[in-house]
Amino acid sequence: MMLRLMHLATGLSDGRVDTQDPLIDQAAENDIYILAALLFVVVVLTIGIFSRRVGHLLLFSLSLCAVLICLVMALLL
């Protein structure tokens, strides 16, 4: 018992690895991506209704950001 408390106090594990983190919902990750894409489409359509120039500017800037993110990720990997 004392050895277990010492391991806990020093941060050492007893060999068991916990692969499931209860704070991270792995199953909802795809749902979040779908909802983010849907939100993006709704924002672009809403802005596009009010102003065509702002809509085109938003699409251009987001496309440019996506390309730059892809380039940076390709360089890092």
pLDDT tens readout for residues 14-46: 555 556 667 767 778 778 888 888 988 888 777
Q: In angstroms, rounded to a whole number, what is the distance separating the alpha carbons of residues 65 and 34?
A: 19
Q: What are phi and psi of 13, to 5 degrees?
A: -100, 165
Q: In angstroms, rounded to a whole number, what is the distance separating the alpha carbons of residues 64 and 40?
A: 15
Q: In angstroms, rounded to a whole number, what is the distance separating the alpha carbons of residues 58 and 42?
A: 13
% of residues, the chain, pLDDT over 70: 70
The span from the first CA to the last CA of the chain, in angstroms, equals 45
**Mean local confidence (pLDDT), 6-11:** 59
